[in-house]
Structure 1
Amino acid sequence: MTEGRFEDQNGSAGFSLVAVLVFMLIVSAIVVPFAVTAKTRLMIANNEIEQERLSLLAEGLANVVSSELANGSRTEKLPLDSSPTACRSGKFTFDVRIQDHSGLIDLNAADAHLLSLGLASLGFDRQTAEELAGAAIQFRGGPNAFATQAEPAASVGPPENKQAPFESVSELEEFSALASTPLHDLYDVFTVFSKRGTLSLDRAPSRLRTVVAGASTSGDSITQGASEASAYSVQVTARRDGSGITGQAGFVIEKFPASAAGFRRLSRSPAAVITKLAATTSSGNCDALFGTAIAQILRGWAS
């Protein structure tokens, strides 16, 4: 009888153990997904905070560079053809790209030949580039008061001609042949802010400069030597070492003496695809890019 009692007790203990294990498995199946989800959300939130922090830093540095461009203190020291220049401060790397708009092609002022060269730099063959250039002129051209009907839109162009000047480079996305071209690539070639039908070859981005230099150009549309800049594109990228998170700020500015900063923003620039930041410009400080005072602030912030 004693043995039977022990067997009953052992059986009850075994059943209780199994029941506890099953209960723990059920609780784990419920709790673990919530814990994983909470951890994932925390990581996403931290990444978003880090990106916002870097973007605000990039925005501030872009304002610093813009102010220096407006007062002329950096135009002789920094490349103005979108060539990347970078520096390091602590664990952070900063990439700066400046584009003088005299080195871009104005969509409203350039002739068909200059427009076709810009389109050829985007990878289009000669015939397609010329067709697109003609479509751009049709798109921007004023209506003919004596025409019985509007000129039909080109097959490579938008569904309907605007019959008014381009207000933004982004309007090129309405052209069927340009719909798949990344917006930042279009901004690397064209502008609506230079207000001139010429291109300063020494300020043109390398891709555009290569195409123009290799083409048979005639007339006065291609110039050498710097001219007075009407506008600049300024883009700053900030990144912490070992992190895939980056902050970007980019906009188009013009000199505006009435402003305390000496410039005003004309538009935002689309974010470029970030591949690899440029090599550092110096042994590790950012004095050449942002000035000594700002570089000291960065060193204190990054330490």
Structure 2
Amino acid sequence: MSDRALHDSANAADEGARSGFSLVAVLVFMLIVSAIVVPFAVTAKTRLMIANSEVEQERLSLLAEGLGNVVASTLTGASGGQKVPLDSTPASCRSGELSFAVRVQDHGGLIDLNAADDSLLELGFAALGFEQQTSEELAKATIRFRDSAKLFVGLPPSRSAVGPAEDKQAPFESVSELQEFPALASIPLRTLNGVFTVNSKRGTVSADRAPSRLRAALASGSSASVVQALADASAYTVDVVVRRDSSGIAGEAGFIIEKSPTGAAFSRVSRSPAAEAGALPPVAGTADCEVLFGTEAARILRGLNS
């Protein structure tokens, strides 16, 4: 082979080597860029999805808030149009992709911590699963906590282990104060609120409006303070959950209301611990949304899906 042919062959080999190296360098560079860019792209997409979910949840929560006001206005209005059970039994309806769950509790079906006597308080603690002796001790500790200055003057300063370290000597302001009792500290607030209240202002409880857990205890016990029906209600807990079926995202709202003495239909007392704890579970069967929320609200809901 001539020198020129050898020279050309060497140049071709060098050029091929340089091309191969360049290709490898480009591939390595692309891998490095991908390693840097892809995580940012994935993170950005994830954040966008989270943001969209948060916006959707906020929209559904606002809708739940508005529907809660509709239910509250119906409950406290002059017409007294009752459209849902008043004993915490959920009701539901559907409009397009949106499904709705509503739960209302008349506080006349709960035991008022400030007005109930010891026998009625015992039934309340029995509804939470306590044995008779513990229920009796808790009832005495509850009365001592709220009324010790008046009811326990001259008595020895003995105190039950189930009661709080100190007595308030004033009415309960919230059911959450029961969690100061060692025996009740681990019971979720939503469970305590399913038995007790501070808003009925009555020393009686209406068995027909009591939640199922409490109704069973009232039926098995005996107390002159248990009545079968109340002519009028002054306070309610209203919980509403809205779900978009296609996304599985839910918004919720809940509050305790009282009939307002100022002329307005109702006033809010506080947020509902049940709503803060989590969404209502889906319920079997659905009613017409017009039955739950009225004709005008049902028309607006249909418009949201059009």
TM-score after normalising by structure 1: 0.91
2:279 counterpart (266, 274, 278): 274
SS at match of 1:267: strand
Change (3 A) 1:242 1:113: farther
For 1:54, give the aligned amino acid: L
Cα drift, residue 84 of structure 1: 0.6
> Pairwise CA RMSD of aligned residues?
2.1
Q: Equivalents in 2 of 1:34, 1:129: separation in Å?
A: 59
Cα drift, residue 147 of structure 1: 5.2
The match for 1:230 is 234
The match for 1:299 is 302
SS at match of 2:138: helix
Change (3 A) 1:36 1:101: same
The match for 2:202 is 196
Change (3 A) 1:145 1:102: closer
Q: Equivalents in 2 of 1:202, 1:182: separation in Å?
A: 24
SS at match of 1:17: helix
Q: How does 1:215-254 map to 2 (within 5 A)?
A: 215=221, 217-218=222-223, 220-254=224-258
Change (3 A) 1:151 1:45: farther
Say yes or no: does 1:7 pair with 2:10: no
Say yes or no: does 1:177 pair with 2:183: yes
Equivalent pair of 2:241/2:253 in contact (CA under 8 Å): yes
Unaligned ranges ≥5, structure 2: 1-6
TM-score after normalising by structure 2: 0.90
Cα drift, residue 238 of structure 1: 0.7
Q: Equivalents in 2 of 1:39, 1:152: separation in Å?
A: 63
- Which stretch shifts more, 15-24 or 126-135? 126-135
SS at match of 2:149: coil
Equivalent pair of 2:243/2:250 in contact (CA under 8 Å): yes
The match for 1:56 is 62
Equivalenced residue count is 298
The match for 1:256 is 260
Change (3 A) 1:46 1:166: same
Q: Equivalents in 2 of 1:99, 1:86: separation in Å?
A: 15
Cα drift, residue 104 of structure 1: 0.3
Q: Deviations over 1:11-56 (max 9, x none)?
A: 1111111111111111111111111111111111111111111110
Unaligned ranges ≥5, structure 1: none
Q: How does 1:1-303 map to 2 (within 5 A)?
A: 1-73=7-79, 75-143=81-149, 151=157, 153-215=159-221, 217-218=222-223, 220-256=224-260, 258-260=262-264, 262-270=265-273, 271=275, 272-274=277-279, 276-282=281-287, 285-303=288-306
Larger radius of gyration: 2
Cα drift, residue 258 of structure 1: 2.9
Equivalent pair of 2:90/2:101 in contact (CA under 8 Å): yes
Q: Equivalents in 1 of 2:101, 2:84: separation in Å?
A: 12
Q: Deviations over 1:120-178 (max 9, x none)?
A: 22222323222222221121114259958994553222232211110011111222222
For 2:43, give the aligned amino acid: T
Identity of counterpart residues, as a percentage? 62
Change (3 A) 1:152 1:18: farther
For 1:235, give the aligned amino acid: D
Equivalent pair of 1:143/1:150 in contact (CA under 8 Å): no
Change (3 A) 1:92 1:7: same
Change (3 A) 1:7 1:151: farther
Q: Equivalents in 2 of 1:125, 1:243: separation in Å?
A: 45
